[in-house]
Structure 1
Amino acid sequence: MTLSLPSAALSIAELDDLDHEGVVRFVRVLEESGHRMVWIPEVAGREAFTTAALVLAATRRLIVGNGVARALERVPKSAASAARDLAAGYPGRYVLGLGVSGAVRERGIGPLPFLRDYLDGIDATLARRGGTVPRVLGAYSAGITRLAAERADGLITFLVTPEHTRWARETIGPDLFLSVVQWAVVGRDRAAARDVARARLAYYLTLPHQIAKLTRLGFTEADLAPPGSDRLVDALVACGTPEQVREALRRQYDAGATQVAVSLVGPLDEAKLDAYRALAADHRTAMERTH
């Protein structure tokens, strides 16, 4: 199927730190502010599909994507059934995002053949139960990026430079949906913004598949040594005034992104909620377009 999704979205990692009622309040603020789509990463403990169900139930129009659900966390039958029921229960509002890390090698299989077999299992379950589910793959390697073009409706990337976005677009062709998650810190000077960004980046600098990806993007061992060099942080995180952040987003669009999903870094406080509201206004007036 051809994905037709908003060109502007959010990736909301804050849900890991919120209880049930906190999630409901937060996503309703996002919807009431005018945001149209959120991606939910599966990182620090929240289960992908139950969290997607919670956000869908708490909102009226918000499109929700798992961005991405970890394939290693569940068998294909479970993922397919959960995704199928969410897509059926909330027509036009749910997208399945799947990803796998190099940790799968501990099972004696590489990420590419594992994910190919996983998609076979997804397809078999959907064929048996009926229904369709729009899906994207989280990918950085050439093999899985090409797999997204062959077996999915799109691609979602994370912590990448515009150079990677340009390469991904060239790899998948001109038409496939491509969402790029862009970290941003708004309203702080560069030194303060770097401190905020490094606090979140620290976890990802411990992950071999993220280190491998960033090395392919040209970052050195010195750049990647915790807490990350200024060069690394400045390349991966849009910092500064709203206009400086908008310019960073434009670079991702210009490089070939169909959609840019902003992830605001830092604690969820009133200042950050105000930044989310301002970002929604930006989307409405300057950046909204559809695929």
Structure 2
Amino acid sequence: MSLVLPRTALSISEPDSLDHDGVVRFVRALEEYGHRMVWLPEVAGREAFTTAALVLARTDRLIVGNGVARALERVPKSAGSAARDLAAGYPGRYVLGLGVSGAVRERGVGPLPFLRAYLDGIDQIAADVPRVLGAYSEGITKLAANRADGLITFLVPPEHTRWARETAGPDLFLSVVQWAVAGRDRAAARDVARERLAYYLKLPHQIAKLTRLGFTSADLAPPGSDRLVDALVACGTPEQIRESARAQYDAGATQVALTLVGPLDDAKLAAYRALAEEN
């Protein structure tokens, strides 16, 4: 299956801190501004498939991807059935994204064989649903090239994007989630970014990924060095943020999905509106 999705997208964490009506107002605003696709990470508070169903049902045109649903949270039958129904109910508007962390080793299996077997289960139920894998390792990146329609990466500099493109091959859809802090200078942006980054600097698979990219233990010690934050987080005006996105495209990304870090206030909504102008 050839995966064709908008060149720009958003990866939105705001639903984790919003109630039902707040989520509806927020995603409707994004659609009204002109955004065409959102990825929904499954990090805290909200279940992947019910949130995707809510966003699909309360918008008219937005393409919605689980970016990514945690495979450890549910058996393949549950994920496949949910994905199949969403794809059937909203043709052309839904993408299944799956990911797994090193926590799977507590079950006595590595991430690669676990996800390979998981996809076998998905194939029995939802083989025709477009799907991407969240991956940083060589093994799962190659699995995405062989068993999925695309790859989605998160918290990576362009150097990783270049490696992922070389590893996955020239044709696989590659979405890169790019963090950004809008409307602030670099020093202020670092403070905002560090509040969000603190969670990820406690996760072994994120630490392992960033270590492979050349960051030192000093860089990765909370709250993260200036070097680390500057490599992972864009900042400034909408045009400056787009310039950071262009570096990811130049490195091989098919799509860049922006995550605006910081509180959801009027300034952030204005940034969302401005970033939609060139969609």
Above 0.5 in TM-score?
yes
Q: Unmatched 5+ residue regions in structure 1? A: 284-291
Cα distance in 2 for partners of 1:11, 1:122 equals 24
Deviation at 1:126, TM superposition (A): 3.1
Report what 2:256 is aligned to. 260
Cα distance in 1 for partners of 2:108, 2:156 equals 28
Report what 1:281 is aligned to. 277
Greater alpha carbon shift after TM alignment, 243-252 vs 200-209: 243-252
Deviation at 1:45, TM superposition (A): 1.8
What SS class does the counterpart of residue 185 from structure 1 fall into? strand
The 5 A counterparts of 1:18-57 are: 18-57=18-57
The 5 A counterparts of 1:103-114 are: 103-114=103-114
- AA matched with 2:243: E
Cα distance in 2 for partners of 1:86, 1:242 equals 33
Deviation at 1:282, TM superposition (A): 2.9
2:233 to 237, 244, 247: 237
Cα distance in 2 for partners of 1:153, 1:189 equals 38
1:185 to 181, 186, 198: 181
Q: Unmatched 5+ residue regions in structure 2? A: none
1:224 to 210, 220, 231: 220
Cα distance in 1 for partners of 2:168, 2:270 equals 36
The 5 A counterparts of 1:106-255 are: 106-126=106-126, 132-255=128-251
Deviation at 1:67, TM superposition (A): 0.1
Report what 1:269 is aligned to. 265
What SS class does the counterpart of residue 281 from structure 1 fall into? coil
Q: Identity of counterpart residues, as a percentage?
A: 86
Cα distance in 1 for partners of 2:212, 2:15 equals 30
Report what 1:289 is aligned to. none
Deviation at 1:186, TM superposition (A): 1.2
Q: Check conservation: 2:83, 2:126, Cα contact below 8 A.
A: no
Cα deviation per residue 1:192-240 (whole Å; 9 max; x = unaligned)?
Answer: 1000000000000000000000000100000000000000000000012
Deviation at 1:272, TM superposition (A): 0.4
Deviation at 1:190, TM superposition (A): 1.0
- AA matched with 1:41: P
Cα deviation per residue 1:113-166 (whole Å; 9 max; x = unaligned)?
Answer: 000000001112236xxxx20000000000000000000000000000100000
TM-score when normalising by structure 2:
0.99
1:12 aligns to 2:26 (yes or no): no
- AA matched with 1:170: E
Deviation at 1:9, TM superposition (A): 0.1
TM-score when normalising by structure 1:
0.95
